[in-house]
Structure formats: structure tokens, C-alpha cells
Amino acid sequence: MNMPFESNRNNWMLSVTLLSVVLGMLLAAALKTQQTVKLASGIPTTRVSGLTQLILDEKDRNKRLQGEITDLRGKVDKYEKVMGQGGSQSQVLKDELQKAKLFAGLVPAVGDGVEVVLRDSAKQIPVDADPEIKQEYIIHDVDLGAFVNVLRANGAEAISISDQDSDQRVVAITPILCDAATIKVNGVRMTSPFTITAVGPPNVMKTALEMQNGLISQFRFIDGLTKSMVKVRTGSDLVVPAYTGVTSLKYARAAESGGSPR
């Protein structure tokens, strides 16, 4: 057809084709890198919406596994009961075992006690405040630890820490440690508000927390902050769930001599 344009046309086709080759190379490299990123992290997507779904899935799985643990522990209980029917001696053993398990936190505990609700302050944190002051508005791991300690010192026999997602029994090896914006209890991330449930002498524990120069009176020194962040109430038949974490020990063994103190 119109010849003058034909050479020009071939010309642009050639350039475009050449750079298309480069573009293809870039595309392949980008694709490969994305793949290695996904492989390396073990996460099949990097988009936020995909990640959200993944987290939800994992949470579901966690719930299921948690239920499985409860199921299996229940089965163990049943076997123990059946064993207990064998005779008076095994009955005694079974009772001892049950006591030990209650003490260790492996079975749910029910009883009178107190409930402490700790939440981050709803008040606006002043923008120009010192970082130290800003910290006062948030519940920290040390706060949870202090409350658990005071409750224990005043007769608490079973304690759990809960948020809206999970309940964690506080047992002998339970760590309570801050992790970025969350607090990990038994390795499970929790966020405010926290509920500490303690089975024990209700009035003794409540009084101990609320007495003058006690934990709550010294909790926060900014006006009105403590009131909005800490709530204590007594209750009857409070349920403290069983510990659902790992119970097998890798390093500790029972000592031979019966462990009598020197």
C-alpha cells in the first residue's frame, strides 16, 4: 500500500520487538523472584487480603487442634477412671493423680474467686507527652505479671488470663512476655482487654489488690487512669480452663533421692 511508511513501520517493529525481549526477561526475573520470596517465607501470597485469610485459616486450625487436645485429655481422664474402678489401691492412685493434675493446671478448675479486667485506657493519649507517660496508658506484660503475683500471694489456687480470642491457664512454666504490640501468654498472642480469673479466697484477694499502697492504688499515677484501666469483682463458681500447651519435658527428670531438700 503506501510504501513510504512501510520502512518506518518495520523500523518500529524491530525496536519494539528488541525491547520486548528485554521486557520478557524482566518479567521472567520478577516472576522468579516473587516465587523465591514465597518459597522462602512459606507464605503463598504477599497481598494483605490473602494474608488476612491465611491468618483466619490458621486461627480456625488452632481452635480445632485446641479442641482435639481437650478431647484427648478427656479420654485420658476416662481411662484413668476405668483404671480407678479396679480396686481400692488404684482408686487411691487415681485420686492422687487427679489432685496432682488439678495442682498442675491440667484439668479445668471451678470455684469462688475474683475477676480482674485490665484494659488499655480509652482516653486520648496526649500527643506531646513524654514516651514514658504515653506508656502509662497501655497494659504491659509486667502489669499482668504483677497482678498474677499478688493474687498468688493471697491464696489464688488456679489462675487464667483471657482476651476475646483465647483463655490461657497460668501454670508453673507459663511465660507472660510482651511481643511487639501484643502480650504472649503460654506463647499465645493476646490483646487488651485482658481478664485475669483467679480461684481462691475472693475477699482476701480483692482486699489485697485494693488496699492502701496496694497494687491498684499504685497502678498509674495519672489522674483517673487507674479507674478506667482496672476493674476487680468477686464471683462464685468461676471457671478456669485447663492448660492446653505442651506438657512433655525435654530437660528435667525426676531426681532419684525423692527430692528431699538438703
- Residues within the interface to other proteins (CB under 8 A): 5, 8-9, 11-13, 15-34, 36-37, 40
Of 9 and 123, the one with the shorter C-beta distance to other proteins is 9
CB nearer to other proteins: pick between 8 and 88: 8
* DSSP symbol at 149: H
Residues facing residue 177 across a β-bridge: 184
Give which of 165, 154, 158, 156 is closest to 108, Cα–Cα: 158
Q: Residue 48 Cβ, how far from other proteins at the closest point, in Å?
A: 13
The DSSP annotation for 114-135 comes to EEEEE----SPPPTTS-HHHHH
Q: In the bound complex, what is the minimum distance in angstroms from residue 18's beta carbon to other proteins? A: 7
State in angstroms the smallest separation of the CB of 131 from other proteins: 19
Q: How far is the CB of 45 from other proteins (least distance, A)?
A: 13
Least gap, CB of 51 to other proteins (angstroms): 16
CB 157 within 8 A of CB 229: no
Element (H, E) at 181: none
38 vs 233 by CB, closer to other proteins: 38
Q: Considering the complex, what minimum distance in angstroms separates the CB of residue 191 from other proteins?
A: 26
Q: Burial code of 207-243, b = ≥16 C-beta within 10 A, e = fewer?
A: ebbeeeeebbeebbeeeeebeebbebeeeeebebbbb
Distances, alpha carbon 127 to alpha carbons 123, 133, 139, 225, in Å: 12, 10, 18, 16
Beta strands in 22-154 (DSSP E): 109-118
Please say which residue, 15 or 88, places its beta carbon nearer to other proteins: 15
For other proteins, the closer of residues 31 and 100 by Cβ is 31
Backbone angles phi, psi at 30, to 5 degrees: -60, -45
Does residue 261 have a cis peptide bond before it, meaning omega lies within 30 degrees of 0?
A: no
Nearer of residues 24 and 86 to other proteins, judged by Cβ: 24
Least Å from the CB of residue 37 to other proteins: 5
- Based on CB atoms, which residue is closest to other proteins, 31 or 82? 31
Q: Please state, in angstroms and rounded to a whole number, the distance separating the CA atoms of residues 85 and 7.
A: 100
